Amino acid sequence: MLTGKTALVTGAGRGIGREIALTLAREGADVAINYNGSADAAKEVAAKIEALGRKAVLIQCNVADFQAAEEMIKKAAEELGRLDILVNNAGITKDNLLLRMSEAEYDAVLDINLKGCFNTIRHAAKLMIKQRSGRIINLSSVSGVMGNAGQANYCASKAGIIGLTKSAARELASRNVTVNAIAPGFIETEMTAVLSDSVKENILAQIPMHRLGNTKDIAEAAAFLASDRAGYITGQVIQVNGGMAM
């Protein structure tokens, strides 16, 4: 259970982030919901969290902006009283074959997916070190573990998150702050809804459990890593992918 804990989830208006925010609240946490463009969806998540009897705080912020990320962390900690759990979920894709990929496509994905994690960790870690406790959970991907044709930018960002996670875990472990990554397989959200049927069939053929994942599969892993039950787990990449990569 997460009774009395506080959390910030980035990109929590939609998809996996939304499910993580709702799951943490169901387990008893008060939650700051970060969004970038989806204000209405984020408000709906806040209303659901309040209906559970938990506190919800809405924070608009582009995680790629270092200063804005600092203000977001400050606001979350001030309004919730402290910050126990940070979930770096915000992420985008801009897929293209390597030889066709523009500099802008590469930079946008790295800025949001990888630098966005650095930006929030950089500021949240300060608070967590002072508290002598904290949980940081970063969303990587099976694509960051295996690589994927057409996703060089995305895979680089998600592999980078694994290195960032392990380094931060080593630096923060002595202060009782754990840092772990979740590497989801293919999960049914708006991000994967754009894939064609033939691509989906191809992916299914690579999944021993022969189904795409759902947002609950990922949220359960996040809730576990955020809990006291995971107190001795740090620097790990938890793969939640139906066996797609082992």
Residues labelled catalytic: 154
CA 153/CA 231 separation, integer angstroms: 33
Angle between helices 116-131 and 152-172 (to 10 degrees): 10
Q: Which of residues 76-105 bind ligand NAP (CB under 6 A)?
A: 89-92
Burial class (CB in 10 A: 0-12, 13-18, 19+), 206: middle
Burial class (CB in 10 A: 0-12, 13-18, 19+), 31: buried
User: Does the protein bind ligand NAP through residue 160 (CB under 6 A)?
Assistant: no
Nearer to ligand NAP, 99 or 193 (CB): 193
Q: Which of residues 177-206 bind ligand NAP (CB under 6 A)?
A: 184, 186-187, 189-192
Both tokens of residue 95?
Answer: 């897929």
CA 51/CA 37 separation, integer angstroms: 23
Nearer to ligand NAP, 16 or 174 (CB): 16
Q: Judge whether 108 and 94 are in contact, CB under 8 Å.
A: yes
Nearer to ligand NAP, 15 or 134 (CB): 15
| Smallest distance from ligand NAP to CB 130, Å | 25
Q: Which of residues 59-78 bind ligand NAP (CB under 6 A)?
A: 62-64
| Smallest distance from ligand NAP to CB 155, Å | 11
Q: Which residue in the set 5, 17, 156, 178 belongs to the binding site for ligand NAP (CB under 6 A)?
A: 17
Nearer to ligand NAP, 101 or 129 (CB): 101
User: Does the protein bind ligand NAP through residue 242 (CB under 6 A)?
Assistant: no
Could you tell me the CA-to-CA distances from 117 to 69, 160, 161, 188 in Å, in that order?
10, 10, 8, 23
| Smallest distance from ligand NAP to CB 17, Å | 5
Structure letter (DSSP) for residue 114: I
The residue with tokens 């990569």 is 245
| Smallest distance from ligand NAP to CB 45, Å | 10
Q: Which residue in the set 35, 46, 86, 179 belongs to the binding site for ligand NAP (CB under 6 A)?
A: 35
Q: Give the closest residue to 15 by CA, choosing from 1, 27, 33.
A: 33
Burial class (CB in 10 A: 0-12, 13-18, 19+), 192: middle
Q: Which of residues 112-151 bind ligand NAP (CB under 6 A)?
A: 112, 139, 141
Nearer to ligand NAP, 136 or 231 (CB): 136
Which residues would be at the binding site for ligand NAP (CB under 6 A)? 10-11, 13-17, 34-38, 62-64, 89-92, 112, 139, 141, 184, 186-187, 189-192
